[in-house]
Amino acid sequence: MTASPLDIALFAAKLGVVFFVILTMAAYLVLAERRILAWIQDRKGPNRVGPFGMLQPLADLIKLLTKEDFIPSAADRWLFLLAPAMAAIPAILTFAVIPFGAPITIAGRQVPLLIADLNVGVLFFLALSSIAVYGMAIGGWASNSKYSLLGGIRGLAQLISYELSMGLSLVPVIMLAHSFSLTAIVDAQSTVPFIVYQPVAFIIFLISITAECKRIPFDIPEAEGELVAGFHTEYSGMRFGLFFVGEYINIIVLGGLATTFFLGGWHGPFLPPVVWFTIKSLAVAFFFIWMRGTLPRLRYDQLMHLGWKVLTPLALVNILATGWWLALAAS
């Protein structure tokens, strides 16, 4: 099949729109978080720039861009410069496999509303989530600061504690959908979302992705009370901004993934599919913000205990139970 100019144009348009929407959403998620936290904490939050503070992200962007891009003299220069990009790019790339709406028809062509319908979408996501930690680890190491180094080490320790349980919690989903493709997983939930069949897997996944996007109670690599700012202590200006925005992109993407795997993807009554997808993803993001307003922080060895001694065995048992149940249903 050769791609016609129209196909290419549609694809480019889709890419542009997704890229724009994700970045804008990430910026406004920062604002939303600040406003929601303020609401939880009985204060006002940023409400000065523009109506209801709506231009705050823009002001923050201008501030970050015009700040000095400081590089410590003892830092490993190239790695220091590269690390923020290595943290942000995997987060954006992951969105490529998430179907965010029902296929639509434009000029007689079926246009699926996702960037790349990989038949190994789940593996793609897991691979990228492992790569994302390199930005943190390398950034922490290249800064040549002890706080950053400890932050980077904590990040790696955190990765090995949640990654396994996150992968294992997705196995039942794959078993139910009979596919690694995210499109197929969403199609399998057209009537009942998987959260109904797999509440345990959903909870494990939710805990794991909270650790993945380094949110309280698992914001251990950057715990400001302990490590000043953890792995990004030495970063300033837009390089810090990239780490920061990368984290919020990650929240949106992981919210989208939780939606796709467990909450029925874009399926839903009355409202258009894209709207349903957005609502569900933002609900997950809201849950993260809510947790930040409620919970203290775990110690990093406690997170490792939780990951290895509780979540991973639980996920394994859940897989066995799902297999047993599927075998019973088949016979």
Partner 1 sequence: MATTEKMTLNMGPQHPSTHGVLRLVLELDGEVILKATPHIGYLHRGVEKLSEHRTYHQTLPLTDRLDYLAPMHNNLGYVLAVEKLLDIQIPERAQVIRTIMAEMTRLESHLVWIACHALDIGAMTVFIYAFRERETVMETYELISGARMTSNFFRIGGLSQDVPPEFEKKVRDFVSVMPGYLDQYEGLLTTNPIWLKRTVGNGVISAEDAIDYGITGPALRGSGVDWDLRRDNPYSGYEKYNFKVPVGEKCDTFDRYKVRLVEMREACKIINQALDSLKPGPVLSDYPQICYPPKENVYNSIEGLIHHFKIASEGFPAPEGEVYQGVENPKGELGFYIVSDGGNKPYRMRIRPPSFVNLQAIEKMSKGSMIADLVAVIGTLDIVLGEIDR
Instruction: Report the C-alpha dihedral over residues 127, 133, 137, 143, rounded to 10 degrees.
Output: 120
CA distance 214 to 16: 28
Is 293 near partner 1 (CB under 8 A)?
Answer: yes
Contact 304, 157 (CB under 8 A): yes
Q: Looking at 64, 142, 223, 252, which residue binds partner 1 (CB under 8 A)?
A: 223
C-alpha to C-alpha distances, 273 to 42, 47, 265, 276, 284, nearest whole angstrom:
35, 32, 9, 5, 17
Is 43 near partner 1 (CB under 8 A)?
Answer: yes
Is 294 near partner 1 (CB under 8 A)?
Answer: yes
Q: Looking at 190, 299, 313, 324, which residue binds partner 1 (CB under 8 A)?
A: 299
What is the smallest separation between the CB atom of 294 and partner 1, expressed in angstroms?
7
Is 33 near partner 1 (CB under 8 A)?
Answer: no
Interface stretch with partner 1, choices 78-86, 102-110, 112-120, 297-305 (CB under 8 A): 297-305
What is the smallest separation between the CB atom of 248 and partner 1, expressed in angstroms?
17
What is the smallest separation between the CB atom of 205 and partner 1, expressed in angstroms?
19
* DSSP E strands, 18-174: 101-106, 109-113
Is 211 near partner 1 (CB under 8 A)?
Answer: no
* DSSP E strands, the chain: 101-106, 109-113
Choose between 165 and 281: whose C-beta lies nearer to partner 1. Answer: 165
Choose between 157 and 164: whose C-beta lies nearer to partner 1. Answer: 157
Is 137 near partner 1 (CB under 8 A)?
Answer: no
Contact 318, 240 (CB under 8 A): no
Dig out the tokens for 254 from the structure: 């992981």
DSSP for residue 220: G
Q: Which residues bind partner 1 (CB under 8 A)?
A: 37, 40-43, 146-147, 150, 153-154, 216-217, 219, 223-228, 292-302
